[in-house]
Amino acid sequence: MPGAGTDRTRPALSGGPVVILVEPQLGENIGMTARAMANFGLSEMRLVRPRGNWLHQKTRAAAAGAEYVLDGAQVFASLAEAMADLHFVYATTARERGQGKDVVGPAEAGPAMRARVAAGEKVGILFGRERTGLENDDISLADAILTYPVNPAYASLNLAQAVLLAGYAWQAAAAAAEPLPFAKKEKWPPATREAVLSFFDYLEDQLATRGFFRPPHKRPNMSRNLRNMFHRMSMSEQDVRTIRGMIVRLVEGPREPQTKKRLKPAKKADD
Amino acid sequence: MPGAGTDRTRPALSGGPVVILVEPQLGENIGMTARAMANFGLSEMRLVRPRGNWLHQKTRAAAAGAEYVLDGAQVFASLAEAMADLHFVYATTARERGQGKDVVGPAEAGPAMRARVAAGEKVGILFGRERTGLENDDISLADAILTYPVNPAYASLNLAQAVLLAGYAWQAAAAAAEPLPFAKKEKWPPATREAVLSFFDYLEDQLATRGFFRPPHKRPNMSRNLRNMFHRMSMSEQDVRTIRGMIVRLVEGPREPQTKKRLKPAKKADD
């Protein structure tokens, strides 16, 4: 199931780093990895010596609609073959290996991968076995180490989650330049200052009539506080109409079927 | 299983945002979420109306060693109660909701959460139901929207993955947490969510009595709009008192003469 927020009319992202799983043991993990890749627009999966018949029903179910990643996956007999056409390869690991390689986090790796891909290079990321991770021999084939700022007391990520964070790093590096999918549309055009000030005049008149500003010499300061609070709303034209309508209703009391009693003040609550 | 890279001699990270799951349906997802939280040092989990008996063997198995998160989880009957003591709340969603809230990505939310927590605020993040996410009414209770730069053609993250990314955002921002020397003092402490919700209840009662919500079936939507506007004020405790006092005055009309008389001689120091 593509799920909430998926928009089939928009083109799938692609072109990201190749994800290489070394000796994955469970089809479900491969499926979940495919889904995590699709979430951040990674599409090229390679498997090194996956265990037995890996592409079964559970694998597809776990991919939850990202089956195109599974169907495009390539299988290799050795890690060296799986990396043959790549220009730069990261190895993911949660612990120090003492191999003298550069160690980077996702925030650094994202832009670095983008820069390489933009320059025409092909980048890959290695992920190890579910229980034991990458062996030192696997890591020795990589150019750099990618690790995550995890809780040192609880460092174990599952395979799909490790891939998800790499995908996020890749995508976030692009998103830094591009807006989020809908951020800009969430805000309506702001009200004119004229509409806002006219609302303030109306509100403060009503409040003054009802003795809100007390003692009277504090009125300027109290007005300023109120205005500042409403300014923080960043009101749109519609917001000003809504709030003004709310104040009118509070002041005038319930609407009448006819308009003649409309101006009756709502004094009774206290009497 | 703690797994590779875990070092039991190092202290667990804690103090991060509260993770609130709204109506989670499957124990396994709650367990995987606990694990994702532990990975990035989040420890406080709250569940709003979880389905049936949620804490079973599969839940614990999925937590893979992060059972302390499950054992510390609190269950609430309503989202409002689950948020009562929080000062700032993000709602996660993959699609536009048109509620006029700020929309941020993880790279922005991480440092923002760090700054709030450093200033003594309590921050929460809402995550919706596995299939349908958060409802608009849930989102209307939040201050801002957190969304991820996902592939628009494949936007669906599973629950634990959505939580994992939020935890990563929190942890990745650790280095960026140094507060400016005086920025914090410019802001008054924010109101608790309880004070804000109590104000909404009062205001909406008054408006309902006066026929503001018309036609009546539009009330939920109109309430949501109002709440969203007031949330944008980022009200302090004092702000809530001020606005509430303003509404009381508008509703009840001028204070009684009795009160006025007492004020008059107050200048003369005795009587």
Of B1, B12, B155, the CB nearest to A3: B155
Q: Does B26 touch chain A (CB under 8 A)?
A: no
* Residue A35, min C-alpha distance to chain B (Å): 8
Domain count, chain A: 2
- For residue B256, being part of any structural domain is answered with yes
Mean pLDDT check: name the lowest of A55-59, B30-34, B192-196: B192-196
Q: In terms of domains, do A111 and A138 share one? A: yes
Contact A233 B235 (CB under 8 A): no
Of B154, B174, B252, the CB nearest to A38: B154
How many whole angstroms separate alpha carbon A16 and alpha carbon A172? 12
Q: How many residue pairs bridge chain A and chain B with CB atoms within 8 Å of each other?
A: 293
| A 69-108 residues with CB < 8 A to B | 93-95, 105-107
Share of chain B above pLDDT 90, in %: 56
Of B2, B153, B222, the CB nearest to A154: B2
B100 contacts on A by Cβ (under 8 Å): 186-188, 236, 239
Nearest CA in chain A to B242: A226
Q: Does B38 touch chain A (CB under 8 A)?
A: yes
Phi and psi torsions of A112, nearest 5°: -65, -40
- For residue B186, being part of any structural domain is answered with no
Q: Given this model, what pLDDT does residue A185 score?
A: 47
Domain boundary among B181, B210, B229: B181
Q: Does A257 touch chain B (CB under 8 A)?
A: no
Mean pLDDT check: name the lowest of A140-144, A159-163, B251-255, B259-263: B259-263
- For residue A86, being part of any structural domain is answered with yes
What are the structure tokens assigned to A231, written together?
């300014």
How many whole angstroms separate alpha carbon A77 and alpha carbon A73? 14
CB neighbourhood size of A69 (10 A): 23
Q: Does B110 touch chain A (CB under 8 A)?
A: no
**Residue-averaged pLDDT of chain A:** 84
- Confidence class for position A8, pLDDT limits 50, 70, 90: low
For the whole model, what pTM was predicted? 0.75
pLDDT, one tens digit per residue, over A127-158 is: 999 999 999 889 988 888 999 988 878 888 89
- For residue B110, being part of any structural domain is answered with yes
- Rg of chain B's alpha carbons, rounded to an integer? 22
Name, in order, each residue with C-beta under 8 angstroms of A59's C-beta and a sequence gap of 6 or more.
A27, A28, A30, A31, A70
CA neighbor of A99 nearest in space, from A133, A144, A132: A144
pLDDT, one tens digit per residue, over A60-98 is: 999 988 999 999 999 999 998 998 888 889 999 988 877
Most confident of the following: A17-31, B177-191, B227-241, B246-260: A17-31
Q: Does A243 touch chain B (CB under 8 A)?
A: yes
Q: In terms of domains, do A121 and A66 share one? A: yes
Q: In terms of domains, do B32 and B69 share one? A: yes
What are the structure tokens assigned to A71, written together?
């169907």
- For residue B63, being part of any structural domain is answered with yes
- For residue A223, being part of any structural domain is answered with yes
A131 contacts on B by Cβ (under 8 Å): 1, 3-4
Could you tell me the residue range of the domain that residue A150 belongs to?
18-179
A164 contacts on B by Cβ (under 8 Å): 157, 161, 164-165
Q: Given this model, what pLDDT does residue A204 score?
A: 93
How many whole angstroms separate alpha carbon B168 and alpha carbon A111? 17
What are the structure tokens assigned to A144, written together?
């750099």
Domain boundary among A126, A152, A179: A179
Q: Given this model, what pLDDT does residue B96 score?
A: 84
Phi and psi torsions of A170, nearest 5°: -60, -50
Cβ A65 vs Cβ A98: under 8 Å: no
- For residue B2, being part of any structural domain is answered with no
- Confidence class for position B268, pLDDT limits 50, 70, 90: very low
Question: Which residue matches tokens 């839940």?
Answer: B59
- For residue A27, being part of any structural domain is answered with yes
Q: What ipTM was reported for this prediction?
A: 0.70
Q: In terms of domains, do A199 and A149 share one? A: no
- Confidence class for position A183, pLDDT limits 50, 70, 90: low
B206 contacts on A by Cβ (under 8 Å): 250
pLDDT, one tens digit per residue, over B16-65 is: 999 999 999 999 999 999 999 999 999 999 999 999 899 999 999 999 98
* Residue A191, min C-alpha distance to chain B (Å): 13
Q: In terms of domains, do A160 and A202 share one? A: no
CATH of the domain at A163: 3.40.1280.10
What are the structure tokens assigned to B204, written together?
């909406």
